[in-house]
Structure 1
């Protein structure tokens, strides 16, 4: 389940391996890509739902992904998402 906590790549991969978190739906909208040589920044909105430790969760999130090309291969080097507050 998305939280305000920071996690490392091993943390994220462990969540997937143990299935303590699973996504049921991911829909990305308003995706923008800006490329600066061998670096690319992707931003957008993501509508997601899933299970975290057996509990359902869902929400809308703004995300940023930073990719770097090294030796001809693109690799994500940073990722961030923040929940968009529900409308009043």
Structure 2
């Protein structure tokens, strides 16, 4: 089992920020997101729907969503060998189809070291009531 270093923690947290920032320009950001998601990535939506990496990327490529703001903060990272769990807050505004959204959620994000790179393998979020 590998040792999780401060550099690993910084890399995982920087990757969380990179994924959020990539949402602001999906024409260029989709490649960043695709690279940082593990091939076996699974997303559990707030309503309980489950999506794979391919589902998520297809949704982003469809052009029906637009983010005006997207950011993560309040990150707390815990190490477990070649895995890391990040708990944080996601905040975003934008358009999904005809609907405007202004969303805040608490998330749990699981990262694994894959081919020498930290990749997000699982993500779940719960909306924070306003």
Q: CA deviation at 1:25?
A: 0.7
The count of residues paired between Structure 1 and Structure 2 equals 85
Following TM superposition, the consecutive aligned residue runs of length 4 or more in structure 1 with deviations greater than 3 angstroms are: none
Task: List aligned pairs for 1:18-57, cutoff 5 A.
Answer: 18-57=62-101
RMSD across aligned positions (CA): 1.5
Between Structure 1 and Structure 2, which shows a larger proportion of strand residues?
1
CA distance in 2 between counterparts of 1:8 and 1:71 reads 20
Residue number in structure 2 paired with 1:62: 106
Q: Does 1:80 find its partner at 2:96?
A: no
CA distance in 1 between counterparts of 2:112 and 2:46 reads 26
Residue number in structure 2 paired with 1:11: 55
Instruction: Return the TM-score normalized by structure 2.
Output: 0.60
Between Structure 1 and Structure 2, which shows a larger proportion of helix residues?
2
Q: CA, structure 1 residues 3+37, in 2 after alignment: closer, same or farther (shift >3 Å)?
A: closer
Q: Is the 8 A contact 2:46 2:125 kept in 1?
A: no
Gap regions ≥5 residues in structure 2: 1-44
Instruction: Return the TM-score normalized by structure 1.
Output: 0.85
Q: CA deviation at 1:3?
A: 4.9
